[in-house]
Chains A and B, each alone.
Chain A
Amino acid sequence: MSQQHLPQPRTDRATAQPSRVARSLARGRLGAPAVLFFVMSAAAPLTVIAGAVTTAYAVTGVTGIPVAFVVVAAVLAVFCVGYVSMARRISNAGAFYTYVTHGLGRPAGVATALVAVLAYNALQIALYGGLGVAAAGFFQAEAGWDAAWWAYALGAWTLVTVLGLLRVDLNGRVLAVLLVAEIVVLLAFDVADLTHPAGGTISLNTLSPGNLAAPGLGALLVLAITGFVGFENAAVFSEETKDPRRTVPIATYLAVALITILYAGSAWAMSVATGPEHIVDRSRAEGTETIFTLAAGHIGTSMATAGRLLFLTSLLAALLSFHNTVARYLFALGREHVLPPVLGRTSRRTAAPAAASTVQSGLALTVILLYATQGWDPLVRLFFWGGMWGGFGVLLLLTTTSVAVAAFFVRNPDQRRSDSAWQTAVAPVLAAAALITVLVLALRNFATLLGVSPSSALRWQLPALYAVAAAIGTAWAILLRDRHPGIYQAIGLGANAATGRATSTTPPHPTDAMFDPAEEPR
């Protein structure tokens, strides 16, 4: 993969003079709080704590989850140094495959894109299992309704499908209010747990680094990474923020810090309330109810009921957020013609990426119906396996991206000038080394991660699916290079594929996306 054909990185816009135009454009741009809210609502705190963490205690039987969040936060903080530094230098910075295209070449970029589509789809569809079970339990207890999990999952699916097509991002106020409410409830639960420790003493056991020596460390780290998914989205706004040099980094680091405190703190508080030796049994007995029954005993049932309701809205927000992430990936790939151009079309009135959104919804519906008809367990097999498998995919994306960031700065010495060696060399290499280590541990512990026997074929089959996706992506990119060099050149440019470059010297070509034959008038 020769480097001279890669799209040239965008010049740093932060150097522009303040002018009337610049000031006017700045008014429409986002500040750190807006970006932070967007990122945090995708992270959906209650979904992770009430859903993923309790299920993880139950399935893996490992208690070191709180300390795993802290370790992963440290790794991600180092990862973000190079990640946000490179974000200002490329177009379409929200997508991992753009980084990989710039750093490791277009075939690796397309491979990464397909892995990302698979991983984010897994994360999204997994949530339907969690939501179905949680909603069935909630309405059974509160209203006496006796519907199956998949009925609620299908209800949520309808809502997400419609909202996705209407392009109601639910961002802005609704999401902000829900997010704040979630955090308040979680903190109240934490305080209640910590003021009522089991046996009267607050045990720091689950926070101790000693847990890292326990078997199953790789499984814990993947779980923690799954919890952080969403932090990478701040970079989507690189070109939309008031000050790209500061806003995106501030929002990204703040998100990582907030998520760490909230997740590690809450996972630890739960173990304090039950006693570290009982958290696994309690989680196995009560599932996603654990955090609420613990709290109900201390601060009353109404608060716990509010928490259960917010858990459902949190799951919905996460569903919509991941749905939009998948749709955005498919839309960008459609605009680039790497995937069928029809995916790059939008609905006229709502500007939603309609075709991409429909494809994601169709996939989700297929999986929900498959689980419903086969009678497979929605909590462990859909929510937890799907979530962990998706989280493992994101770990692959993070690892590849960290290597790509390091490679990018080696290949583009002129891009290194305005930043320190820590930002462009040391941190990216450290992050890559750390993430590769996590990846190896995760692969070794994949059976623990799924809670299956070490001899189960699943422990190889599931990771292998990503290898298949990557192989298809690489082959597809090479085919494009030989048959459609114009499309090949524009890989990684997202919507800018229309101009054939971010900033370069070749004349532009409007893409066929605008004229794709599928758009034939009725």
Chain B
Amino acid sequence: MAGRAQMLTGRQYIPQLADDMFWITHGDMSGQPQLRPRAIGLGLAAGLLGELILTRHLDLTEGVVVVLSESSPADVLAHLTLDQILAERDVRDVRSWLTFLAQEAEEAVGQRLQRAGLVERQVSRWRRSAVRWHPLDGIAAARPSHRLYVALTRNEYLSPSDATLAGLVAAVGLTRTVLFDAGSNAASLHRLKAWVASLPLPLHELVAQTEAAVGDLVLTHRA
């Protein structure tokens, strides 16, 4: 599937942080949302900001988003996200950006995966607003959670992107869907915690801010 998309765009599809987050929040191969829509939105919004931090377009300190580079990101969606941030220099606090990006994040990331030929967007016949993202490539869908599972249970290396992913998964409350069986014990959780603790400050802050935003959803009855 990905092959056809490659031929059309001439670009190789490279999975991004938000894509990985998309698969895990949508139950890998099942395509079933694992969280309430707002929480999924926040997780994916954090993924989009994380991509820009990983490419050093953005910095994040003490809850404030700072643009480090205005150069165009290679990815179209990342480009679009950065454009939005550049257009609104007055809005600096990361919580506003998380909430704002969360509104459209599922649709945006889902469409990126659709362009790569990895999902199909299905609209319910009965409810127009009920969109389902049907995975077309089960291996691509299961890869991120499998990668985390293997690395955390066997004490292997996690890339900064995957360590951020692990942190965001924990922040939205999905640790147990990744570390789901007896093979992943307290030691795996301890490793997860250590990886997040070792994250560079902006990514560490992103994880903490996401956890706070998800917690506030519960406290304000907005989940």
Contacts and interface: CB of A to CB of B under 8 A. Distances in A.
Q: Do A and B come from one complex?
A: yes
Interface string B148-189: 000000000000000000010011011111011110111011
Contacts of A353: 218
B189 A20 contact: no
Contacts of A324: 221
Contact of B209 (A17, A331, A508, A520): A508
A406 B204 CA distance: 37
A408 interface: no
B179 A499 contact: no
Q: Taking each of B103, B167, B221, which has the highest tally of chain A beta carbons within 10 Å of its own beta carbon?
A: B221
A192 to B, nearest CB: 36
A238 to B, nearest CB: 9
Contact of B34 (A237, A349, A495, A508): A349
A519 B184 CA distance: 11
B171 A239 contact: no
B170 A514 contact: yes
A346 B96 contact: no
A521 B169 CA distance: 14
Nearest to A344: B215
Nearest to A233: B221
Interface string A320-336: 00001000100110010
B211 A171 contact: no
B183 to A, nearest CB: 9
A520 B193 CA distance: 13
B196 interface: yes
A351 B35 CA distance: 7
Given A240-B220, A498-B212, A520 B186 contact: yes
B215 A495 contact: yes
A505 interface: yes
A236 B217 CA distance: 11
B205 A499 contact: yes
A331 B189 contact: no
A16 interface: yes
A24 B99 CA distance: 10
B68 interface: no
B39 to A, nearest CB: 6
A239 B216 contact: yes
A107 interface: no
Interface residues of B, number: 58
Nearest to A506: B62
B219 interface: yes
Contacts of A494: 215-216, 219
A210 interface: no
A413 interface: no
A499 B93 CA distance: 13
Nearest to B193: A515
A498 B95 CA distance: 13
Contacts of A504: 62
Contacts of A505: 62
B36 interface: yes
A509 interface: yes
Contacts of B222: 240
A509 B215 CA distance: 15
Contacts of A495: 211-216, 218-219
A21 B96 contact: yes
Interface string A484-522: 000000000011111111011101111111110101111
Given A167-B223, A510-B171, A510-B208, A499 B184 contact: no
B26 to A, nearest CB: 13
Contacts of B188: 521
B139 interface: no
Contact of A239 (B184, B185, B220): B220
B204 A510 contact: yes
Nearest to B223: A351
Contacts of A38: 221
A94 interface: yes
Nearest to A345: B173
Given A349-B34, A521-B181, A169 B221 contact: yes
Interface in B50-84: 61-63, 84
Contacts of B196: 510, 515
A501 B93 CA distance: 13
B131 interface: no
A19 interface: yes
Q: Taking each of B175, B186, B219, which has the highest tally of chain A beta carbons within 10 Å of its own beta carbon?
A: B219
A346 B173 contact: yes
A513 B172 CA distance: 11
Interface of A: 16-17, 19-22, 24-25, 28, 38, 92, 94, 167, 169, 171, 236-237, 239-240, 324, 328, 331-332, 335, 344-346, 348-353, 494-501, 503-505, 507-515, 517, 519-522
Interface of B: 34-36, 39, 61-63, 84, 87-88, 90-91, 96-97, 99-100, 103, 167, 170-171, 173-177, 179-182, 184-186, 188-190, 192-193, 196-197, 201, 204-205, 207-209, 211-223
18 contacts: A16-B90, A22-B91, A24-B100, A25-B99, A28-B99, A345-B173, A350-B36, A351-B218, A495-B219, A498-B211, A499-B209, A508-B62, A508-B208, A510-B197, A513-B211, A515-B190, A517-B186, A522-B176
Given A236-B219, A499-B212, A510-B167, 18 more contacts: A19-B88, A25-B96, A167-B223, A349-B34, A349-B36, A351-B35, A353-B218, A495-B211, A495-B219, A511-B211, A514-B167, A514-B173, A514-B175, A514-B193, A515-B189, A520-B189, A521-B175, A521-B184
